[in-house]
Structure 1
Amino acid sequence: MRAAGSRAIQCDGVLTVTDTHYRHLKQAADWYALLCDETVDESQRAAWRRWLEQDPAHRKAWSVVEKVGERFEPFREESHRKPAYDALRAPDMASIGRRRALLSLGVLAVAGLAGWRTLRDTPLADHLAALTTDYATGTGERRELALADGSRAWLNTLSALDIDYGPRQRLLHLRTGELLLEASRDPRGPLRVTTRHGEVAGEGATFGLCHQAGGLCVSVFSGTVDILNGAGARARLEQGRQLTFSASGPLGPPLPVEAARRSWSKGVYVAEGVSLQRFVEELGRHRHGYLGCSPEVAALRVVGSFPLADTERALDMLPLALPVRIRRVMPWWVSIEAA
């Protein structure tokens, strides 16, 4: 595992938070931890209220921390609630409380930048749809499926899949998340996978599909696949290549396939020089709560193999090779900062 020293804020096509936004998030997390302490006094609560009123960005940051924290509130006994939980119910927090009611369905995972996106850009709608799919996985869960035609499929964390096999077709619908397929040959023709961005079809091939911020990433590990997006753009993708496309516009250029798009099925994330920000977003999908990194270190490069079933150990591996430290403000709020 090693790192290179680039400091760019925009890395690997993933937009990271600005230094100001990150600082506000860090302050909000510190206030939340303080208010959760049984020894907090009224002067400290008053100081928190003053900080909250100083800047609309403070309220925005606080709402992000709150959305993460409220997911863990049901695990607290009523008699042991901390002052922060009472404070959140104060009249001046009513608007945040209404937003929390909308988002407290237990399906919002906040990692990396997710907390700064609008509701339209969060996975909430996908996860609500996943409640009615044939197969779905939760946070940190991976699942292997044996399909009726002899094909094999693996679902990554937070994924949802419908199966629609008939006399004349083999059709899968990947609603959200990531899928790895070993598609068998069949008289009915290629195994087709539809997504909100378009369709991918292959037989006698091993390929993966992953919903990402920039669209759908398709990776081919053996054989070939045919790609068709919502705008009618087509391409044939060969073994060892991957590309990303969205429902509209041209298809992205073919690039060398990333090992990580297959290694997750074995419980390992293989980082091949990805930015630390990208690493955080990938690992964050496999754990509850908030995981973020400071813009100061977001562009550092990571190489290595990391266990997905033990994300705490994966995080503890980072300071062994990178100039970073792991800051655990609360068990469910972790950030990576410069050492």
Structure 2
Amino acid sequence: MMAEGSAMAEEIDPQSAREAVAWLTQLMSEEANGEDKDGWQRWLAASPENVRAWQHISRFSSQFSQLNGEAAHRSLSTVANPQRRRLLRCAAGVGLIGAVGAGVLPWRSWQADYRTAIGEQQRVTLSDGTDLLLNTQTAVNVSLPQLSLLQGEMLVASPRNGMPLQLSLPQGRVQSHNSRFSLRLHDDYSELAVYHGQLSVMPLDGQRTTLNAGYGGRLNLSGFHEVGRVSGEPGWQQGMLYADNMRLDDFLAELARYRRGVIRCGQQVAGLRLSGAFPLADTDRIIASLPGTLPVQVSSLSKYFISIS
């Protein structure tokens, strides 16, 4: 496995990282034209953070070296179509938007035992009977009785019989036996919720805590913090995004996990609230429906760049 060099581990601005992936996706598509390439050059020149993000994604494949900041006038349109499509699948498959923003090195997720692409879910039954449901942009390594969640979110059902399941997270680990729970990695903490049974939560500081069914909490570098009751299992397992008086900017950030590209939310509308159940199978339709329920406008540079104002 490749060593984790300090240059690759440098923190990249999350917004620049998302925009870099969106530009890469657009330039590799069959729809890319001269205006797209000009826009990419303007974006690259607008901020040193943009250059850093582009150089980071360029390292992901040797084919990207022709697109670094020093040679910004060239694009992936020079790569033959079959290779361009292969590289696009590769970038999408590792969920690079989330990986860079969360500080997870892309190749670790790409080489994981199980992983999902943007908008994909995958169910896995392990040899000991543990059932995993991986959500969008998720990567997990398996070495029973231990799992390591590298990126994303998953629902876990550990079996009644067998050894206790050990699950490693960036901020500590959890242990379960005959329980059903969900885990999600955020930038600086892990979110836990238990629906059946209980979890033993062991932060890096060594203070073991028990989290019972019906409750959720957050695990960060300072320890574990219970946040109260959970209303039910996550809606994404039924392909739904549920919003209950949710801020628009938070809603769009959640929606962005399930689609390629960038969704920008203007500050003047970020605090608007909405509620409802939204089917994740058609994120374009969700975005198009927003002006019918909120005083907002939707505009787009391309299908990869959506702006809500």
Which residue in the other structure is 2:224 paired with? 251
Please name the residue that 1:291 is paired with. 263
CA contact (8 A) 2:116 2:122 kept: yes
Change in CA separation of 1:297 and 1:258 when aligned onto 2, cut-off 3 Å: farther
Name the residue aligned to 1:195: 169
Change (3 A) 1:74 1:203: same
Contact 1:270 / 1:303 at 8 angstroms: preserved in 2?
yes
Aligned: 1:103 with 2:57: yes
Query: Superposed, which structure 2 residues align to 1:167-178 within 5 Å?
Result: 170-178=145-153
Correspondence for 1:158 among 115, 125, 137: 137
Q: Output aligned runs, 1:126-275, within 5 Å.
A: 126-165=105-144, 170-188=145-163, 190-246=164-220, 248-257=221-230, 259=232, 262-275=234-247
Give me the whole-angstrom Cα distance separating, in 2, the residues matched to 1:157 and 1:265.
10
Q: In the superposition, relative to structure 1, how do residues 333 and 109 fare at CA in structure 2: closer, same or farther (>3 Å)?
A: farther
CA distance in 2, matches of 1:243, 1:276: 24
Q: Distance in 2 between matches of 1:194 and 1:146?
A: 18
Q: Which has the higher contact order (CA 8 A, sep 6+)?
A: 1
The CA deviation at 1:143 is 0.6
Tell me the equivalent position of 1:315: 287
Shift of 1:88: 5.2
Unaligned runs of 5+ in 1: 1-60
For the residues of structure 1 that align with 2:52 and 2:273, how far apart are their CA atoms?
40
Contact 1:219–1:241 (Cα < 8 Å) also in 2: yes
Q: Deviations over 1:94-116 (max 9, x none)?
A: 97667524314425655xxx8xx
Quick check: 1:71 aligned with 2:25?
yes
Once residues 289 and 203 of structure 1 are traced to their aligned partners in structure 2, the CA distance between those partners, rounded to angstroms, is: 39
C-alpha offsets along residues 146-179 of structure 1, whole Å, 9 cap, x if unaligned?
12122211011111011112xxxx2111111101
Compared CA separation, residues 249 and 99, structure 1 to 2 (3 A): closer
CA apart distance, 1:210:
0.2
Structure 1 CA distance for aligned equivalents of residues 261 and 267 of structure 2: 19
Q: TM-score, normalised by structure 2?
A: 0.74
Match of 1:280 in 2: 252
**Partner residue in 2 for 1:15:** none
2:64 maps to which residue?
Answer: none
Tell me: CA distance 1:317–1:236, structure 2 relative to 1, closer, same or farther (3 Å): farther
Letter in 2 for 1:81: N
Native 8 Å contact 2:199 2:212 kept in 1 = yes
Query: Aligned partners of 1:321 and 1:98: how far apart in 2?
Result: 38
| 1:319 positional shift | 2.9
Cα deviation for residue 71 of structure 1 reads 2.3
Gaps of 5+ in 2: 1-14, 61-90
TM-score calculated relative to the size of structure 1: 0.68
Supply the distance in 1 between the matched residues of 2:278 and 2:249 (Cα, whole angstroms): 15
My pick for the range that moved more, 322-331 or 171-180, is 322-331
Percent identity over the alignment is: 26
User: Structure 2 vs 1, CA of residues 275 and 98 (structure 1 numbering), >3 Å: closer, same or farther?
Assistant: closer
**Deviation for aligned residue 1:132:** 1.4
Q: Deviations over 1:254-285 (max 9, x none)?
A: 322154x6221121111222222221111101
Question: Where do 4+ consecutive residues of structure 1 move more than 3 Å?
Answer: 61-67, 86-90, 92-99, 107-110, 123-126
**Per-residue displacement from partner, 1:165-218 (whole Å, max 9, x unpaired)?**
2xxxx2111111101011112232x21211111111212211000012341000
Residues paired across the two proteins, number? 260
Answer yes or no: is the 8 Å Cα contact 1:126–1:175 preserved in 2: no
Q: Tell me which of 320, 326, 329 is aligned to 2:301.
A: 329
- SS of 2:267's equivalent in the other structure is coil
Pair 88,282 (structure 1): closer, same or farther in 2 beyond 3 Å: closer
Cα 1:292–1:252 change in 2 (3 A) is farther
